[in-house]
């Protein structure tokens, strides 16, 4: 079971590294993070003209990717509970003259009406939500019927040899490099691998998403399985009926 997070501590940690966050994401992922985000948008079925939301948006990279996809006829919105991250992300969007709007909001209490968005995404942020299941249910609540919820997240590779190499980098080298560049602020890059190892694996996360009422849950691996995109579909009825929930559970097993 995922441990409950401490929102104030996590918010403070991300505020401390906000200024170096984008650069380190690109460098430490060997620039793979850009492609991962594009893939997540594709798997979410986002189309031109859609209204979409990215939660735990950080400095807005995935929200910006959504905005490019929906185009001038659509609308992209991003939310995050860390004001420093949102401020940097909105400045980045304004500089690029991108119409995406970012705002401060808790993923557990999104300030939107139910069934508002054609797709709702989260990239590398669902680990930081205090209550994983409640966060997924809240994402589903604001998703339109038959719309998609897409979760892009780190996971643990299945191949034993690659997993060993990955662990050496992820558990030893990445924290050293990340904290060096970030000035060791609150050991943010020591927190990253610990949070990934404590997070549900790809199969357990798929079961949790199904338990939260989403249907037809699909799991897509990228880069030798170090990241996955989980995609579920919101049923027409919300909350789902007990019969629909049971059917979804059988379908994901």
pLDDT beyond 60 at 253? no
Both tokens assigned to 110: 């999104």
pLDDT beyond 50 at 243? no
Q: What is the CA radius of gyration of the chain?
A: 17
**Cα-flanking dihedrals φ and ψ of residue 117, to 5°?**
-120, 145
Three-state SS letters, 174-201: HHHHHHHHCCCHHHHHHHHHHHHHHCCC
* Residue 1 binned pLDDT confidence (cut-offs 50, 70, 90): very low
Looking at the domain assignment, is residue 120 inside a domain? yes
Domains of the chain: total:
1
Distance CA 36, CA 42 (A): 10
pLDDT beyond 50 at 190? yes
CATH of the domain at 91: 3.40.50.150
Q: What is the mean pLDDT of the chain?
A: 89
Q: What is the pTM of this model?
A: 0.88
CA-based max dimension of the chain: 52
- Going through the chain in order, the beta strands assigned E by DSSP cover 51-55, 75-80, 101-104, 117-123, 143-154, 215-222, 227-233
The confidence score (pLDDT) of residue 125 equals 94
Looking at the domain assignment, is residue 223 inside a domain? yes
Looking at the domain assignment, is residue 55 inside a domain? yes
Share of the chain above pLDDT 70, in %: 91
Domain hosting residue 150, numbered range: 7-252
Looking at the domain assignment, is residue 2 inside a domain? no
Looking at the domain assignment, is residue 1 inside a domain? no
Looking at the domain assignment, is residue 221 inside a domain? yes
Looking at the domain assignment, is residue 110 inside a domain? yes
Range name among 103-117, 158-172, 177-191, 225-239 with the lowest pLDDT average:
177-191
C-alpha distance from residue 197 to each of 87, 150, 154, 191, 202 (Å): 30, 21, 9, 10, 12
Both tokens assigned to 58: 């950080």
The confidence score (pLDDT) of residue 187 equals 66
Q: Which of 151-165, 169-183, 210-224 has maximum average pLDDT?
A: 210-224
C-alpha distance from residue 28 to each of 196, 198, 252 (Å): 15, 20, 33
Q: What is the mean pLDDT of residues 44-69?
A: 98
8 Å CB contact between 104 and 81: yes
Strands 227-233 and 215-222: antiparallel
Looking at the domain assignment, is residue 233 inside a domain? yes
Q: Which residue has the higher pLDDT, 50 or 163?
A: 50
Q: How many CB atoms lie within 10 A of CB 65?
A: 23
């Amino acid at each position: 079971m995922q441990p409950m997070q401490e929102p104030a501590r996590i918010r403070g940690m991300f505020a401390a590294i906000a200024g170096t966050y984008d650069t380190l994401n690109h460098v430490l992922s060997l620039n793979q993070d850009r492609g991962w985000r594009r893939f997540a948008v594709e798997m979410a079925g986002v189309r031109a003209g859609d209204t979409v939301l990215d939660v735990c948006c950080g400095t807005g990279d995935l929200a910006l990717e959504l905005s490019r996809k929906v185009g001038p006829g659509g609308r992209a919105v991003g939310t995050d509970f860390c004001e420093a991250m949102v401020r940097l992300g909105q400045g980045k969007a304004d500089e690029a003259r991108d119409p995406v709007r970012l705002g401060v909001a808790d993923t557990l209490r999104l300030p939107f009406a139910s069934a508002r968005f054609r797709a709702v995404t989260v990239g590398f942020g669902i680990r930081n939500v205090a209550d994983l299941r409640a966060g997924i249910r809240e994402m589903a609540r604001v998703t339109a019927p038959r719309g998609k919820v897409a979760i892009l997240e780190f996971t643990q590779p299945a191949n034993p040899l690659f997993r060993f190499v990955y662990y050496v980098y992820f558990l030893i080298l990445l924290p050293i490099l990340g904290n060096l560049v970030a000035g060791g602020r609150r050991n943010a890059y020591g927190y990253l691998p610990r949070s990934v190892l404590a997070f549900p694996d790809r199969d357990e996360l798929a079961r949790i998403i199904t338990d939260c009422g989403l249907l037809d849950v699909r799991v897509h691996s990228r880069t030798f399985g170090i990241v996955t995109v989980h995609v579920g579909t919101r049923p027409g009825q919300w909350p789902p009926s007990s019969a629909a929930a049971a059917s979804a559970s059988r379908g994901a097993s």
